Protein backbone atom coordinates (compact mmCIF):
# COMPACT_ATOMS: atom_id res chain seq x y z
CA UNK A 1 0.00 0.00 0.00
CA UNK A 2 2.55 2.55 1.11
CA UNK A 3 6.21 2.01 0.52
CA UNK A 4 9.62 3.43 -0.21
CA UNK A 5 11.89 2.06 -2.88
CA UNK A 6 15.15 1.68 -1.02
CA UNK A 7 17.24 2.25 -4.08
CA UNK A 8 15.53 5.61 -4.34
CA UNK A 9 16.58 6.39 -0.79
CA UNK A 10 20.23 5.88 -1.64
CA UNK A 11 20.20 8.26 -4.59
CA UNK A 12 18.55 11.07 -2.64
CA UNK A 13 21.01 13.91 -2.59
CA UNK A 14 21.24 16.82 -0.23
CA UNK A 15 19.90 19.42 -2.61
CA UNK A 16 16.67 20.91 -1.41
CA UNK A 17 14.44 23.07 -3.56
CA UNK A 18 12.06 25.14 -1.45
CA UNK A 19 10.23 26.37 -4.54
CA UNK A 20 8.95 22.92 -5.45
CA UNK A 21 5.16 23.49 -5.57
CA UNK A 22 2.22 22.45 -7.65
CA UNK A 23 1.19 24.20 -10.85
CA UNK A 24 -2.35 22.93 -10.50
CA UNK A 25 -4.78 25.83 -11.04
CA UNK A 26 -7.05 24.80 -8.19
CA UNK A 27 -4.17 24.59 -5.78
CA UNK A 28 -2.66 27.88 -6.88
CA UNK A 29 -5.59 29.91 -5.58
CA UNK A 30 -4.00 31.98 -2.89
CA UNK A 31 -5.19 31.84 0.68
CA UNK A 32 -5.82 35.54 0.47
CA UNK A 33 -8.62 34.93 -2.02
CA UNK A 34 -10.53 33.06 0.66
CA UNK A 35 -12.38 34.52 3.54
CA UNK A 36 -11.04 33.07 6.75
CA UNK A 37 -13.24 35.10 9.02
CA UNK A 38 -15.37 32.08 9.92
CA UNK A 39 -12.39 29.77 10.33
CA UNK A 40 -11.70 28.70 13.89
CA UNK A 41 -9.25 26.37 15.56
CA UNK A 42 -9.98 23.84 18.26
CA UNK A 43 -7.55 24.75 21.03
CA UNK A 44 -9.24 22.63 23.67
CA UNK A 45 -7.21 20.58 26.06
CA UNK A 46 -7.35 16.83 25.48
CA UNK A 47 -6.71 14.58 28.47
CA UNK A 48 -5.98 10.87 28.71
CA UNK A 49 -8.97 9.34 30.52
CA UNK A 50 -8.00 5.68 30.16
CA UNK A 51 -7.75 3.63 33.32
CA UNK A 52 -6.38 0.20 32.35
CA UNK A 53 -2.62 0.66 32.21
CA UNK A 54 -1.87 -2.97 31.35
CA UNK A 55 -3.99 -3.41 28.21
CA UNK A 56 -1.18 -3.38 25.65
CA UNK A 57 1.16 -5.61 27.64
CA UNK A 58 -1.63 -8.10 28.34
CA UNK A 59 -2.48 -8.35 24.63
CA UNK A 60 1.16 -8.90 23.76
CA UNK A 61 1.53 -11.58 26.41
CA UNK A 62 -1.67 -13.31 25.28
CA UNK A 63 -0.68 -13.51 21.62
CA UNK A 64 -0.24 -16.96 20.02
CA UNK A 65 3.18 -18.49 19.37
CA UNK A 66 3.17 -17.18 15.80
CA UNK A 67 1.48 -13.77 15.77
CA UNK A 68 0.32 -12.75 12.29
CA UNK A 69 -0.53 -9.14 11.46
CA UNK A 70 -2.59 -7.46 8.73
CA UNK A 71 -1.78 -3.86 7.68
CA UNK A 72 -4.78 -1.68 6.84
CA UNK A 73 -7.16 -4.54 7.54
CA UNK A 74 -10.72 -4.26 6.35
CA UNK A 75 -9.95 -1.84 3.53
CA UNK A 76 -10.34 -4.31 0.67
CA UNK A 77 -11.80 -7.65 -0.29
CA UNK A 78 -9.62 -9.54 2.17
CA UNK A 79 -8.35 -13.10 1.77
CA UNK A 80 -10.53 -16.07 0.88
CA UNK A 81 -13.53 -13.76 0.89
CA UNK A 82 -13.71 -14.09 4.67
CA UNK A 83 -13.18 -10.47 5.53
CA UNK A 84 -13.15 -7.00 4.12
CA UNK A 85 -14.71 -3.61 4.47
CA UNK A 86 -17.56 -3.20 6.90
CA UNK A 87 -19.70 -0.25 7.81
CA UNK A 88 -19.39 -0.93 11.48
CA UNK A 89 -16.53 -3.31 12.26
CA UNK A 90 -13.26 -2.37 10.66
CA UNK A 91 -11.13 -5.28 11.74
CA UNK A 92 -13.43 -8.09 10.66
CA UNK A 93 -10.53 -10.13 9.24
CA UNK A 94 -9.65 -11.41 12.70
CA UNK A 95 -11.63 -14.65 12.97
CA UNK A 96 -11.18 -18.36 13.70
CA UNK A 97 -10.06 -19.09 10.14
CA UNK A 98 -7.56 -16.28 9.95
CA UNK A 99 -6.65 -15.08 13.44
CA UNK A 100 -4.52 -11.93 13.61
CA UNK A 101 -2.63 -10.51 16.55
CA UNK A 102 -1.98 -7.00 15.19
CA UNK A 103 -4.26 -4.97 12.93
CA UNK A 104 -4.48 -1.39 11.84
CA UNK A 105 -6.86 0.66 9.76
CA UNK A 106 -7.27 4.17 8.41
CA UNK A 107 -11.00 4.05 9.09
CA UNK A 108 -11.97 6.06 12.10
CA UNK A 109 -10.00 9.19 11.42
CA UNK A 110 -12.01 12.25 10.43
CA UNK A 111 -11.85 13.78 6.96
CA UNK A 112 -10.49 17.11 8.17
CA UNK A 113 -6.77 16.61 8.89
CA UNK A 114 -6.87 19.27 11.62
CA UNK A 115 -10.09 18.17 13.32
CA UNK A 116 -10.25 16.68 16.81
CA UNK A 117 -13.88 15.55 16.39
CA UNK A 118 -12.95 11.87 16.46
CA UNK A 119 -15.63 9.36 17.41
CA UNK A 120 -15.56 5.58 17.11
CA UNK A 121 -18.80 3.62 16.96
CA UNK A 122 -19.81 1.50 19.95
CA UNK A 123 -19.49 -1.81 18.08
CA UNK A 124 -15.89 -1.10 17.26
CA UNK A 125 -15.11 0.03 20.81
CA UNK A 126 -16.58 -3.18 22.19
CA UNK A 127 -14.56 -5.30 19.80
CA UNK A 128 -11.29 -3.62 20.73
CA UNK A 129 -11.96 -3.74 24.47
CA UNK A 130 -13.10 -7.38 24.55
CA UNK A 131 -10.32 -8.82 22.41
CA UNK A 132 -7.51 -9.69 24.81
CA UNK A 133 -4.90 -10.89 22.30
CA UNK A 134 -5.12 -8.51 19.34
CA UNK A 135 -3.52 -5.07 19.11
CA UNK A 136 -5.62 -2.48 17.27
CA UNK A 137 -3.92 0.56 15.75
CA UNK A 138 -5.16 3.58 13.82
CA UNK A 139 -3.20 4.77 10.80
CA UNK A 140 -3.13 8.57 10.69
CA UNK A 141 -1.52 11.17 8.43
CA UNK A 142 1.56 13.03 9.59
CA UNK A 143 3.20 14.55 6.48
CA UNK A 144 0.72 14.37 3.57
CA UNK A 145 -2.96 13.73 2.92
CA UNK A 146 -5.00 12.46 -0.01
CA UNK A 147 -7.59 14.81 -1.45
CA UNK A 148 -9.70 11.75 -2.20
CA UNK A 149 -10.27 10.93 1.47
CA UNK A 150 -9.11 13.96 3.45
CA UNK A 151 -9.17 17.74 3.45
CA UNK A 152 -7.37 20.67 5.02
CA UNK A 153 -8.63 24.24 5.05
CA UNK A 154 -6.53 26.78 3.16
CA UNK A 155 -6.96 28.94 6.22
CA UNK A 156 -5.16 26.39 8.39
CA UNK A 157 -1.63 27.10 9.62
CA UNK A 158 -0.80 23.55 8.49
CA UNK A 159 -1.93 24.10 4.89
CA UNK A 160 0.63 24.12 2.09
CA UNK A 161 0.15 24.82 -1.60
CA UNK A 162 2.31 21.80 -2.45
CA UNK A 163 1.68 18.49 -4.18
CA UNK A 164 3.28 15.38 -2.67
CA UNK A 165 5.17 14.41 -5.82
CA UNK A 166 5.84 10.77 -4.95
CA UNK A 167 2.10 10.00 -5.15
CA UNK A 168 1.07 12.58 -7.75
CA UNK A 169 0.18 10.09 -10.47
CA UNK A 170 -0.33 6.98 -8.41
CA UNK A 171 -3.13 4.76 -7.14
CA UNK A 172 -3.43 7.05 -4.13
CA UNK A 173 -4.94 9.95 -6.12
CA UNK A 174 -3.87 13.57 -5.53
CA UNK A 175 -1.85 14.02 -2.37
CA UNK A 176 -0.73 17.22 -0.72
CA UNK A 177 1.90 18.05 1.83
CA UNK A 178 1.17 19.19 5.37
CA UNK A 179 3.20 21.98 6.96
CA UNK A 180 5.02 19.54 9.24
CA UNK A 181 7.61 22.12 10.26
CA UNK A 182 5.00 24.27 11.99
CA UNK A 183 5.89 24.19 15.72
CA UNK A 184 2.29 23.33 16.70
CA UNK A 185 2.00 20.29 14.45
CA UNK A 186 3.46 17.76 16.97
CA UNK A 187 1.02 18.97 19.62
CA UNK A 188 -1.98 18.50 17.32
CA UNK A 189 -0.92 14.94 16.49
CA UNK A 190 -0.43 14.27 20.19
CA UNK A 191 -3.98 15.47 20.93
CA UNK A 192 -5.32 13.15 18.24
CA UNK A 193 -3.31 10.23 19.66
CA UNK A 194 -4.81 10.82 23.11
CA UNK A 195 -8.32 10.80 21.64
CA UNK A 196 -7.59 7.54 19.79
CA UNK A 197 -6.35 6.03 23.03
CA UNK A 198 -9.48 7.22 24.86
CA UNK A 199 -11.60 5.63 22.11
CA UNK A 200 -9.96 2.24 22.67
CA UNK A 201 -7.10 2.00 20.17
CA UNK A 202 -3.85 0.43 21.37
CA UNK A 203 -1.62 2.64 19.26
CA UNK A 204 -1.06 4.80 16.22
CA UNK A 205 0.74 3.98 12.94
CA UNK A 206 2.51 6.53 10.77
CA UNK A 207 3.27 5.58 7.18
CA UNK A 208 6.38 6.85 5.36
CA UNK A 209 8.14 7.18 8.72
CA UNK A 210 11.59 8.08 7.44
CA UNK A 211 13.68 11.10 6.56
CA UNK A 212 12.76 11.15 2.87
CA UNK A 213 9.20 12.19 3.65
CA UNK A 214 9.97 15.87 3.05
CA UNK A 215 8.75 15.67 -0.55
CA UNK A 216 11.80 14.19 -2.24
CA UNK A 217 11.46 13.27 -5.88
CA UNK A 218 14.10 12.48 -8.49
CA UNK A 219 16.89 13.69 -6.24
CA UNK A 220 15.26 16.96 -5.19
CA UNK A 221 13.93 17.53 -1.68
CA UNK A 222 11.73 20.38 -0.61
CA UNK A 223 12.78 19.65 2.97
CA UNK A 224 16.07 17.99 3.73
CA UNK A 225 16.37 14.61 5.46
CA UNK A 226 17.88 16.34 8.49
CA UNK A 227 14.88 18.69 8.76
CA UNK A 228 12.43 15.79 8.59
CA UNK A 229 14.40 13.80 11.14
CA UNK A 230 13.97 16.64 13.65
CA UNK A 231 10.24 16.84 12.85
CA UNK A 232 9.70 13.11 13.36
CA UNK A 233 11.59 13.10 16.63
CA UNK A 234 9.53 16.06 17.87
CA UNK A 235 6.29 14.31 16.89
CA UNK A 236 7.19 11.04 18.61
CA UNK A 237 8.42 12.85 21.74
CA UNK A 238 5.28 14.97 22.05
CA UNK A 239 2.92 12.04 21.53
CA UNK A 240 4.79 9.93 24.07
CA UNK A 241 4.59 12.73 26.64
CA UNK A 242 0.79 12.88 26.25
CA UNK A 243 -0.18 9.19 25.99
CA UNK A 244 2.27 7.60 28.45
CA UNK A 245 3.87 4.23 27.91
CA UNK A 246 0.69 2.16 27.48
CA UNK A 247 0.23 3.15 23.86
CA UNK A 248 2.11 2.00 20.77
CA UNK A 249 3.74 4.56 18.51
CA UNK A 250 4.67 2.68 15.34
CA UNK A 251 6.22 3.86 12.09
CA UNK A 252 6.56 2.25 8.69
CA UNK A 253 10.35 2.38 8.68
CA UNK A 254 10.92 0.10 5.67
CA UNK A 255 14.65 -0.78 5.62
CA UNK A 256 15.75 2.20 7.71
CA UNK A 257 17.73 2.08 10.96
CA UNK A 258 19.59 4.53 13.23
CA UNK A 259 16.51 6.62 13.97
CA UNK A 260 16.69 9.20 16.80
CA UNK A 261 12.89 9.00 17.15
CA UNK A 262 13.13 5.30 18.11
CA UNK A 263 13.64 6.09 21.80
CA UNK A 264 10.06 7.38 21.96
CA UNK A 265 8.55 4.61 19.83
CA UNK A 266 7.38 1.12 20.77
CA UNK A 267 6.67 -0.33 17.32
CA UNK A 268 8.23 -0.64 13.86
CA UNK A 269 6.57 -1.82 10.65
CA UNK A 270 9.16 -3.29 8.28
CA UNK A 271 7.50 -3.16 4.85
CA UNK A 272 10.44 -4.53 2.88
CA UNK A 273 9.91 -3.47 -0.72
CA UNK A 274 11.43 -5.32 -3.67
CA UNK A 275 10.72 -5.99 -7.34
CA UNK A 276 7.88 -8.55 -7.66
CA UNK A 277 9.63 -11.30 -9.63
CA UNK A 278 12.91 -11.05 -7.74
CA UNK A 279 13.93 -12.90 -4.60
CA UNK A 280 15.79 -11.23 -1.78
CA UNK A 281 19.56 -11.76 -2.23
CA UNK A 282 21.28 -13.73 0.52
CA UNK A 283 23.92 -11.29 1.65
CA UNK A 284 24.83 -7.62 1.66
CA UNK A 285 27.50 -8.11 -0.99
CA UNK A 286 24.75 -8.86 -3.50
CA UNK A 287 22.29 -6.15 -2.47
CA UNK A 288 21.51 -3.72 0.31
CA UNK A 289 18.02 -5.27 0.34
CA UNK A 290 19.25 -8.72 1.32
CA UNK A 291 18.22 -11.35 3.85
CA UNK A 292 21.37 -10.48 5.78
CA UNK A 293 20.16 -6.87 5.86
CA UNK A 294 16.75 -8.05 7.13
CA UNK A 295 18.49 -9.70 10.06
CA UNK A 296 20.27 -6.43 10.86
CA UNK A 297 17.08 -4.36 10.62
CA UNK A 298 15.23 -6.78 12.92
CA UNK A 299 18.05 -6.66 15.47
CA UNK A 300 18.27 -2.87 15.38
CA UNK A 301 14.58 -2.19 15.98
CA UNK A 302 14.33 -4.85 18.66
CA UNK A 303 17.11 -3.08 20.55
CA UNK A 304 16.08 0.52 19.82
CA UNK A 305 12.36 0.48 20.64
CA UNK A 306 10.69 1.06 23.97
CA UNK A 307 8.78 -1.80 25.53
CA UNK A 308 6.86 -3.76 24.42
CA UNK A 309 9.07 -3.62 21.27
CA UNK A 310 6.54 -4.59 18.59
CA UNK A 311 8.35 -5.47 15.34
CA UNK A 312 5.97 -6.16 12.43
CA UNK A 313 8.03 -7.95 9.78
CA UNK A 314 6.64 -7.97 6.21
CA UNK A 315 8.81 -9.46 3.45
CA UNK A 316 7.20 -9.83 0.02
CA UNK A 317 6.73 -13.01 -1.99
CA UNK A 318 8.35 -14.03 -5.26
CA UNK A 319 5.73 -13.52 -7.94
CA UNK A 320 5.68 -15.97 -10.84
CA UNK A 321 2.02 -16.42 -11.77
CA UNK A 322 -0.04 -13.22 -11.65
CA UNK A 323 -3.13 -15.04 -12.95
CA UNK A 324 -3.52 -17.23 -9.84
CA UNK A 325 -2.45 -15.46 -6.68
CA UNK A 326 -3.49 -18.27 -4.34
CA UNK A 327 -1.37 -20.87 -6.14
CA UNK A 328 1.51 -18.44 -6.49
CA UNK A 329 1.56 -17.68 -2.76
CA UNK A 330 1.45 -21.38 -1.89
CA UNK A 331 4.05 -22.82 -4.27
CA UNK A 332 7.09 -24.59 -2.84
CA UNK A 333 9.41 -21.59 -3.20
CA UNK A 334 7.13 -19.16 -1.43
CA UNK A 335 6.29 -21.66 1.31
CA UNK A 336 10.02 -22.07 1.93
CA UNK A 337 10.59 -18.33 2.17
CA UNK A 338 7.50 -17.92 4.33
CA UNK A 339 8.91 -20.47 6.81
CA UNK A 340 12.32 -18.81 6.80
CA UNK A 341 10.92 -15.34 7.49
CA UNK A 342 8.45 -16.62 10.06
CA UNK A 343 11.31 -18.27 11.94
CA UNK A 344 13.34 -15.04 11.78
CA UNK A 345 10.36 -13.09 13.16
CA UNK A 346 10.06 -15.53 16.06
CA UNK A 347 13.77 -15.85 16.85
CA UNK A 348 15.27 -12.36 16.52
CA UNK A 349 12.90 -9.82 18.11
CA UNK A 350 11.37 -10.11 21.55
CA UNK A 351 7.89 -9.52 20.13
CA UNK A 352 8.00 -10.21 16.41
CA UNK A 353 4.88 -10.30 14.21
CA UNK A 354 4.94 -11.80 10.72
CA UNK A 355 3.24 -11.36 7.36
CA UNK A 356 4.56 -12.82 4.10
CA UNK A 357 2.62 -10.77 1.59
CA UNK A 358 2.06 -10.03 -2.06
CA UNK A 359 4.23 -7.39 -3.66
CA UNK A 360 2.23 -4.17 -3.80
CA UNK A 361 2.52 -3.94 -7.63
CA UNK A 362 1.37 -7.55 -8.17
CA UNK A 363 -2.21 -6.54 -8.85
CA UNK A 364 -4.46 -3.51 -8.19
CA UNK A 365 -5.74 -4.89 -4.87
CA UNK A 366 -2.51 -6.57 -3.89
CA UNK A 367 -1.35 -4.33 -1.09
CA UNK A 368 -0.67 -6.66 1.86
CA UNK A 369 -2.88 -9.48 0.55
CA UNK A 370 -1.49 -12.90 1.43
CA UNK A 371 -1.91 -16.60 2.05
CA UNK A 372 -2.61 -17.66 5.61
CA UNK A 373 -0.14 -20.55 5.92
CA UNK A 374 -1.06 -23.61 7.95
CA UNK A 375 2.15 -23.39 10.01
CA UNK A 376 1.05 -19.98 11.30
CA UNK A 377 -1.17 -21.91 13.72
CA UNK A 378 1.65 -24.05 15.20
CA UNK A 379 1.48 -23.99 19.00
CA UNK A 380 4.97 -23.63 20.42
CA UNK A 381 3.80 -22.14 23.70
CA UNK A 382 5.68 -19.17 25.11
CA UNK A 383 9.39 -18.43 24.58
CA UNK A 384 11.60 -19.77 27.36
CA UNK A 385 14.64 -17.69 26.43
CA UNK A 386 16.09 -15.18 24.01
CA UNK A 387 17.71 -15.62 20.62
CA UNK A 388 20.71 -17.96 20.59
CA UNK A 389 23.05 -17.10 17.72
CA UNK A 390 24.96 -20.32 16.99
CA UNK A 391 27.11 -18.68 14.34
CA UNK A 392 26.73 -16.00 11.69
CA UNK A 393 23.37 -16.44 9.98
CA UNK A 394 22.27 -19.39 12.14
CA UNK A 395 20.12 -18.90 15.25
CA UNK A 396 17.32 -20.39 17.29
CA UNK A 397 14.97 -19.66 20.17
CA UNK A 398 13.47 -22.20 22.56
CA UNK A 399 9.77 -22.31 23.40
CA UNK A 400 7.73 -24.28 25.93
CA UNK A 401 6.67 -26.80 23.29
CA UNK A 402 9.57 -26.71 20.84
CA UNK A 403 11.80 -24.26 19.05
CA UNK A 404 12.12 -22.01 16.02
CA UNK A 405 15.35 -21.76 14.05
CA UNK A 406 16.63 -20.27 10.81
CA UNK A 407 19.61 -20.52 8.50
CA UNK A 408 19.90 -17.51 6.22
CA UNK A 409 23.21 -18.58 4.68
CA UNK A 410 23.99 -20.21 1.34
CA UNK A 411 25.06 -23.57 2.81
CA UNK A 412 23.63 -26.24 5.11
CA UNK A 413 24.27 -25.72 8.83
CA UNK A 414 24.01 -28.06 11.83
CA UNK A 415 23.69 -27.32 15.52
CA UNK A 416 22.65 -28.92 18.78
CA UNK A 417 20.39 -27.70 21.56
CA UNK A 418 21.63 -28.50 25.07
CA UNK A 419 23.87 -31.13 23.51
CA UNK A 420 20.86 -33.37 22.89
CA UNK A 421 19.29 -32.63 19.54
CA UNK A 422 21.35 -32.40 16.36
CA UNK A 423 19.47 -30.25 13.86
CA UNK A 424 20.49 -29.62 10.27
CA UNK A 425 19.03 -26.73 8.29
CA UNK A 426 19.48 -26.33 4.57
CA UNK A 427 20.29 -23.03 2.93
CA UNK A 428 17.56 -20.44 3.50
CA UNK A 429 15.59 -22.84 5.66
CA UNK A 430 13.49 -22.03 8.68
CA UNK A 431 11.87 -24.52 11.02
CA UNK A 432 9.07 -24.26 13.53
CA UNK A 433 9.49 -27.50 15.46
CA UNK A 434 7.28 -28.91 18.21
CA UNK A 435 8.77 -31.29 20.78
In order along its 435 residues, the chain shows pLDDT tens digits of 444 444 444 434 344 444 444 444 344 445 556 789 889 888 889 999 998 778 999 999 999 999 999 999 865 556 666 665 555 556 778 888 889 999 998 888 999 999 999 989 888 888 899 999 999 999 999 999 998 889 999 999 999 999 999 887 776 778 999 999 999 999 999 999 999 999 999 999 999 999 999 999 888 999 999 999 999 999 999 999 999 999 999 999 999 999 999 999 999 999 999 999 999 999 998 888 999 999 999 999 999 999 999 999 999 999 998 889 889 999 999 999 999 999 999 999 999 999 999 998 898 878 898 999 999 999 999 999 999 999 999 999 999 999 999 999 999 999 999 877 789 999 999 999 998
- 399, 65 contact by CB (below 8 A): yes
Output the pTM of the full model.
Answer: 0.92
- Residue 32 is predicted with a pLDDT of 55
- Residue 2 is predicted with a pLDDT of 46
Torsion of CA 355, 380, 431, 335, to 10 degrees: -40
- Residue 201 is predicted with a pLDDT of 96
User: What does each C-alpha distance from 426 to 353, 390, 431 come to in angstroms?
Assistant: 24, 15, 10
- Closest Cα to residue 409, out of 280, 278, 274, 283? 283
- Residue 79 is predicted with a pLDDT of 66
3-state secondary structure of 427: coil
Taking CB atoms within 8 Å and a gap of at least 24, the contacts of 164-169 are: 164/215, 165/20, 165/215, 165/217, 166/215, 166/216, 166/217
- Residue 20 is predicted with a pLDDT of 43
- Residue 12 is predicted with a pLDDT of 40
Question: How, if at all, do strands 220-221 and 203-206 pair?
Answer: unpaired
Which fold is adopted by the domain 6-27+58-140+186-377?
A: TIM Barrel (3.20.20)
Amino acid sequence: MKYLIFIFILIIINSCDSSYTSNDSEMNNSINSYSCSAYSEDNSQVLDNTTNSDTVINKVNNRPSIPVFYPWSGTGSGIYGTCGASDNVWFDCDNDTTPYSLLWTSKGRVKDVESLSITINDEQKELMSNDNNTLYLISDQWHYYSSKWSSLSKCSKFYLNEVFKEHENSEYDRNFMINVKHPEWPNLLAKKAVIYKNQGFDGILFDWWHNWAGNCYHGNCVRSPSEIEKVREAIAKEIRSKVGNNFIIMGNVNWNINDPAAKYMSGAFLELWKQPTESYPIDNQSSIMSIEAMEGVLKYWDSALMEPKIVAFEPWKITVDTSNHTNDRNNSTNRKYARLFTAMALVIPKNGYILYADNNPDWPGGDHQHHYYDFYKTDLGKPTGNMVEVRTGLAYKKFENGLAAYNRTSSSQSFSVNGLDNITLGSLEGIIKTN
